[in-house]
Amino acid sequence: MKNIQFLIATLGVLFAKAVCAENDFVVYSPYVVQGKNELEVKAFGQRDARYELNNVSGYNLSVAHAFTSWWKPEVYLVAYNREPGEKYQPSGYEFENTFQLTTQGEYWADLGLLVSYAHNRQPGVSSAAEFELLFEKLSGHFDQRLNLIWGKQIGAGASGAFAFRSSYSLSYNIHDEKASYAPSIEAYYRPGDNAYQIGPVFSGELRTAHGSELEYSLGVIYGINTSAPNKTLLARIAYEFF
C-alpha cells in the first residue's frame, strides 16, 4: 500500500509540472473485462523551442464500467487544454465506448472497436466523433497494439471530411505475483497535424490482495519530422477494481 501511495504522489508532481490540443496519446486495447470499474487520469505536455508548439498541454479525468464481457462505456468528466501563452481552459466532455469483437486468442490478432463523441465547449472549435479499429497481438512476453482512427467534425462550421490517424505500441511484459512491468515503444502517425512521433514509455501494474489494480505509465515521444513537437511528455494513471 505504501508503494501505491508513493506512486500516486510521484505522478501528482509530474502532472503538476507536465500536464499540461487533443489529449489522444494512448494506444487502446480491445479487451473488456465484465464488471471492472476504472478511474483514469491522462496528461501530456509538449516541449519545443518554437513558441507555437511549446507548452501545449492537457489533462483529463474519466470513469468507466464494463457492463458486459464485450462493452465498456467511459465518460470523461474533466478535460482541460492549454495553448502557448494561455491559461488552462475546459475543453468539454467525451463519451467513449469500447467493444470487444473477438474472443482473445480466437484469431491471429484480437479485434475491437472504439466509438466516441466529444462535445467541445471552446469557442470556434467543433465537436467530433471518432471510430477506431483496435488490434492486439500477444506473443509470449511481447504485446503489440495497433489503432486505426477516423475522426469527423460535427456541428456548425465542421469539415465534411474524415481525418485519419493511427497509433502503435510494442511492449515487453514482465510479470510476478504482485506486479507487472512493461518497457515499450509507442508511435503516433498524425497526418492532420503533419506530426510523426515515437519514443519510449514505461508502464506498470500494482495489484492488491482485494483484486484491485493500479496501472501507470510514463514516457516521452519525440518528433521525427520538422512539423512535430520536439518532445511530448506523457503520464497516465488508472485505478481498476470490481
Give the tens place of pLDDT for each residue, 50-92. 999 999 999 999 999 999 999 999 999 999 999 998 999 898 8
Q: Please compute the mean of the pLDDT values over residues 14-23 and round it to a whole number.
A: 43
User: Is 135 a member of any domain?
Assistant: no
Query: Would you state the pLDDT for residue 17?
Result: 37
What are the grid coordinates assigned to 86, written together?
494561455
CATH number at residue 8: 3.30.1300
Largest Cα separation within the chain, whole Å, is 53
Phi/psi zone of residue 34: left (φ > 0), alpha (ψ -120 to 50 degrees), beta?
Answer: beta
The Cα 190–Cα 229 span in angstroms is: 12
The Cα 57–Cα 110 span in angstroms is: 32
User: Is 177 a member of any domain?
Assistant: no
Give the tens place of pLDDT for each residue, 99-135. 999 999 999 999 999 999 999 887 777 899 999 999 9
User: Is 129 a member of any domain?
Assistant: no
User: Is 196 a member of any domain?
Assistant: no
Q: Kindly calculate the radius of gyration of the chain based on its CA atoms and give it in whole angstroms.
A: 18
The total number of structural domains in the chain stands at: 1
Domain that holds residue 64: 1-44+51-114+146-153+233-242
User: Is 192 a member of any domain?
Assistant: no
Specify the pTM: 0.88
Query: Would you state the pLDDT for residue 2?
Result: 44
What phi, psi does 100 have (nearest 5°)? Answer: -85, 115
- For residue 90, give the nearest of 59, 47, 129 by alpha carbon: 59
User: Is 123 a member of any domain?
Assistant: no
Give the least confident one: 19-23, 53-57, 174-178. 19-23
User: Is 172 a member of any domain?
Assistant: no
User: Is 136 a member of any domain?
Assistant: no
Q: Please compute the mean of the pLDDT values over residues 33-46 and round it to a whole number.
A: 96
What phi, psi does 31 have (nearest 5°)? Answer: -80, 140
